Structures are given as C-alpha cells and as structure tokens.
Copies of this chain bind each other. A is one copy, B any other.
C-alpha cells in the first residue's frame, strides 16, 4: 500500500498518541498532521526518556500536548473521550534499567496502561487502541524466525511488564469487545531518537559514536543479529495495523532487516566516510539480558494488514546520519 492510501484513513480523524514526544510517537504525529488528522500528544517527559520538544517543533502549532503520565486519568480522560484512534506508545524499553528498578518499570509499562485501558472501556468503548509491544517479550528465542506463538519468556523485567501490558490490551478485546491490538517492535532506528545514553536504542547509539568520531563499542564479536526497521516503516505498520479491521485482539511481530551488530557498525562507518569499531567483552549487566539472535517472522502482519518495509538499511542509516548532523545540538 502506498503512503497516500494509508494516510487517507486518518484524514480528519481524532488521534491521540501517548509517548507522543518520543522517537516513534513524534514521527507518527508528524505523519498524521501531514495526513490531516487532529492530533493530541500525551507525554510526561520523564528525564532520560525519548521525549524531546524539538521532535515536534515543525508541527507544534498543529497538535495539542497534554503533559501527563498516562496513569493520571483525570488529566487525560477529556482527550480519550473524543479520540477515535489511540496509539499507546508510552513506556520504557531499557533492559538494564528495568533490572535496576523493576518496580518503576512495572508502573510505567503495566499499571499505568491498565488505568488507561479502564478509562477507555468506561468512557469510549468505540475507540481503537494500538499498544507498542516489543521483541523483548520473547526473551532468548527457542527457534528462528520467531512467530507470534513463540513462548513469552522475557529475559528481563521490561519484557515481563510489556507482556502484562500487552495482555491487558488483548484481554480487553476478548472480554469487553474493544478494538485493541499490539505490534511487537524489533530494533527501530532513525531520526528523533534520543541520543543522550546507550540504554535504549543500540542502533542510534552507534550513529552517535560515529558522528562523534568515537569508536563504536560492540560487546562480544558483534555476530548477534537484531531485526532492524527504519522508523518510517514502523510508522507505516502502526498506521496500517490500527486502521485494519483484522487487527482486533491480535498481536503482530514487526521486523524488516535482520542484521548483525557488526554489519550495522561497518555500514555506518562506510556511510559516514570515517569511524572505527572496538570489540569488548560483555559487562555483567548486559550479558544477563542478552538474548542472542533475534529474527522476527512477520508473515502475520504482511498477510492480515498488508504491510511491507520500504526502506533499505543503507537508505535508512544515511537519512539518520544526515538528520543528526543537521540537528546535533538538539540531541547531544
């Protein structure tokens, strides 16, 4: 499906995005504003999160912003009542942070989402809701590629909490008939991602290292495979999935280009025209949550929703390098 057709479904629609100032949320918002949707962003702008006002600078007068945790029902319910499509992207994704403070991660990724779902169920049961799941829910893969029936044996607290958060969404479809769905993202990269620390988003962190003239640090030999997708392909998938009647109560994998970390690093050095790679032993906290190779089986979303990726890694990383060269001061 071409972008124009996807966008057509959202023209004039009332759309809310939680985590709307973050990497994927702000990219989605920019696309939706372009498509003629009425967009509301909810974000509590936690320190160290991906929230960045610069992400939405070009559309800031065309969106409403609610500065709130999604657990603060009183603050967000007025927006939920009028929302037709809710992209529920709020949450955290750091494997190591989640082990340092699992209770905080549980609140962000599970408790808060349950509160949000309850508000939707009570006030606006016709709403459509998409939850951003993660490949981290699977833990160390027992087979490859990983399809949606693979057991959810998370290797960290974040995966457990994201699984619980997703399970609530799917339960509310089965039990209350809400239109909810989940897209389990793999390793997304691209413009608008936070660049201040390495604890979420290893691909974008590689981009920063190369732009800073610092060596890209790789744990182990760099043979570990991640399924990578450029943010525009992710946004396509989210828009198409939530607009599709076939998505009700379903979880979908998303991935596009499985690549070893070493090959990503080499590609970045090549595209940048300079740079170095350094291989190091795993630090203990990273080793504990390392899940081995991950390749997503995406046949379900391709078949039921009609999505397919459009951006090749070379193009995606080139655009990412260009974006941060231009806007470095806003992200460093």
CA distance A91 to B157 in the complex (A): 20
* A114 and B118 contacting across the interface, CB-CB below 8 Å: no
Q: In the complex this chain forms, how many copies of it are found?
A: 2
CA distance A160 to B114 in the complex (A): 11
List the B residue with the shortest CB-CB distance to A105.
B114
Q: Out of B114, B151, B174, B175, which one reaches A151, CB within 8 Å?
A: B151
| Chain B positions within 8 Å of A110 at CB level | 106, 110, 164
| Chain B positions within 8 Å of A168 at CB level | 102, 157, 160
CA distance A152 to B118 in the complex (A): 22
Interface assignment of A115: CB less than 8 Å from any CB of chain B: yes
Interface assignment of A26: CB less than 8 Å from any CB of chain B: no
CA distance A161 to B111 in the complex (A): 11
Contact with B along A130-159 (1 / 0, CB 8 A): 000000000000000000010111111100
List the B residue with the shortest CB-CB distance to A150.
B151
Most buried by B among A110, A164, A168, A175: A164
Interface assignment of A40: CB less than 8 Å from any CB of chain B: no
| Chain B positions within 8 Å of A103 at CB level | 111, 114-115, 118
